[in-house]
Structure 1
Amino acid sequence: MKKSRIILADTNSLFTDALRFVLGQEVDFEIETRDETDADSIRSILAAKPDVMVIHQLRPDSGVVQILREVKRRLKDIHILFIVKETTAELFSLASESSSVGIMPEGTNLAEFMEALRAVARGERYISKEILSAALPQDDDEFYDDPLGEITPREREVLYWLSHGLTNREIAQRMILSEKTVKNHVSHMLKKLDLTDRTKAAALAWREGLPQIAEEFFSLPAVQPMLK
């Protein structure tokens, strides 16, 4: 049986050593560790062509997510599992654009880690329920059954592009609107959904499956009401 080659990248060698010991008990994994998670280290890891790259403690100024987004566009068979303290709109964006990407909290248990690792290794997306819950308001139960039904079709399209990590300027270019108009749509949408920032909006969009709709859907003509 061919073993999956896993590279664990983290600045904390204790963390990677512990994971390497645990994963070493699995007959279908071959484990390596790296002690950095900056952009140069990520490039080095990608050059080694692992089956799965596990990244913990991303450096916020490294541009790693942007690098990996471009890599995923070119190399569809790169599988990545992020272990994070808190997620960002950029991470949700990467997961929405690509399969075989996982996001999970660093406080997870071993069982969920193995579930996420195997899912990503199979080419599936994995976003922990805890990640989504942490990104959404604590009174999430107060949402309507269809929370996105409370915003207009235009606002849903803005939310779609926002969940893919686009800036207001990039959304404006996609939708052929002014940047000011897009900014107003974002503001109205957040107010209607009772959300405070774009990351929470992206998390809600993910929970509702909006980012997985094909972008061509938004170029379809609006359905006209039937005349009586």
Structure 2
Amino acid sequence: MIRLVLADDQVLLRQGLRMILEAADDMDVVGEADDGAGAVALAVEQGPDVILMDVRMPEVDGLEATSRIRALMPDGPRILILTTFDLDEYVYASLRAGASGFLLKDTLTADLLSGIRAVARGDAIVAPQVTRRLIERHIGSAGDPLPRSESDLRELTEREREVLGLVARGLSNAEIAGRLFLAEGTVKGHVSRILAKLDLRDRVQAVILAYECGLVRPG
């Protein structure tokens, strides 16, 4: 069973999510919080596998809550940000704080469930069209220097750099395999080595690093 905590200040949204999630045979909601402080407390008390975290909440928002949970529990629950995107300006910062990805609040039920399962098994959820817009907003804007340089990628082979660039553009392993004429298992191996060499937790951090280093550019 995937044990979940819901953190959102909208009661109706939490109720709707609980109904959807508990209808799945492999999911169990073990707690609800209406702000970030409550989410942190439940993370410590319940030790869930995944926390569905809203960004904008009173007192302690999702960004701060994510940062606190990662500090208290580095190997603790995976955090999946739920956002309305156009209103939430802190999603990119949340990913840097340690979230494993994000989904839009109007995502289809099947995509939500598959996303939670992916995050629970250690993968990351990166919505390509949203990633591009967030990166454009937060990285490499005029007069804003990139925090990393391409030299940070020096340990990667040419093939690994090519794979990382495609990961940063939001392609799945299967799509990368088709693009590069490789077996999907080979691509998975490349991704694993990239994460290990760069000391990254998941694909989300890989996307961020690729943009920060200038391997791929916004737009």
Report if TM-score (shorter chain) is over 0.5: yes
Which residue of structure 2 lines up, in the alignment, with residue 15 of structure 1? Answer: 13
In the alignment, is the contact (CA less than 8 A) between 2:51 and 2:79 conserved in 1?
yes
| Residue 60 (structure 2) pairs with residue 55 (structure 1) | no
Which residue of structure 2 lines up, in the alignment, with residue 132 of structure 1? Answer: 131
* C-alpha spacing 1:33/1:18, structure 2 compared with 1 (3 Å): farther
Q: Tell me, in whole angstroms, the C-alpha distance in 2 between the residues paired with 1:210 and 1:15.
A: 29
- Output one character per residue of 1:167-193: Cα deviation in whole Å (capped at 9) or x when no partner: xxxxxxxxxxxxxxxxxxxxxxxxxxx
AA aligned to 1:124 is D
Which residue of structure 2 lines up, in the alignment, with residue 91 of structure 1? Answer: 91
TM-score by length of 1: 0.54
In the alignment, is the contact (CA less than 8 A) between 2:62 and 2:94 conserved in 1?
no
Which residue of structure 1 lines up, in the alignment, with residue 174 of structure 2? Answer: none
Gaps of 5+ in 1: 138-147, 162-205, 218-228
| Deviation of 1:92 (Å) | 2.0
Aligned residues: CA RMSD: 3.7
| Deviation of 1:9 (Å) | 1.9
In the alignment, is the contact (CA less than 8 A) between 2:50 and 2:120 conserved in 1?
yes
Q: Tell me, in whole angstroms, the C-alpha distance in 2 between the residues paired with 1:34 and 1:102.
A: 20
In the alignment, is the contact (CA less than 8 A) between 1:95 and 1:101 conserved in 2?
yes
Q: Tell me, in whole angstroms, the C-alpha distance in 1 between the residues paired with 2:41 and 2:116.
A: 21
Q: Tell me, in whole angstroms, the C-alpha distance in 1 between the residues paired with 2:134 and 2:7.
A: 24
| Deviation of 1:159 (Å) | 2.2
| Deviation of 1:135 (Å) | 3.7
Which residue of structure 1 lines up, in the alignment, with residue 189 of structure 2? Answer: none
Q: Tell me, in whole angstroms, the C-alpha distance in 2 between the residues paired with 1:60 and 1:14.
A: 16
Gaps of 5+ in 2: 149-167, 171-205, 214-219
In the alignment, is the contact (CA less than 8 A) between 2:7 and 2:53 conserved in 1?
yes
Q: Tell me, in whole angstroms, the C-alpha distance in 2 between the residues paired with 1:26 and 1:126.
A: 19
Which residue of structure 1 lines up, in the alignment, with residue 67 of structure 2? Answer: 69
| Deviation of 1:82 (Å) | 1.0
Q: How many residues align?
A: 153
Which residue of structure 2 lines up, in the alignment, with residue 31 of structure 1? Answer: 29
AA aligned to 1:5 is R
What SS is found at the alignment partner of 1:127?
coil
In the alignment, is the contact (CA less than 8 A) between 2:82 and 2:105 conserved in 1?
yes
* C-alpha spacing 1:61/1:72, structure 2 compared with 1 (3 Å): same
Larger Rg: 1
- Output one character per residue of 1:171-228: Cα deviation in whole Å (capped at 9) or x when no partner: xxxxxxxxxxxxxxxxxxxxxxxxxxxxxxxxxxx64855336x9x9xxxxxxxxxxx
AA aligned to 1:41 is G
In the alignment, is the contact (CA less than 8 A) between 1:20 and 1:33 conserved in 2?
no
| Deviation of 1:84 (Å) | 0.7
What SS is found at the alignment partner of 2:146?
helix
| Residue 198 (structure 2) pairs with residue 211 (structure 1) | no
TM-score by length of 2: 0.55
Identity value in percent: 18
Which residue of structure 1 lines up, in the alignment, with residue 39 of structure 2? Answer: 42
| Deviation of 1:74 (Å) | 4.4
Q: Tell me, in whole angstroms, the C-alpha distance in 2 between the residues paired with 1:23 and 1:111.
A: 10
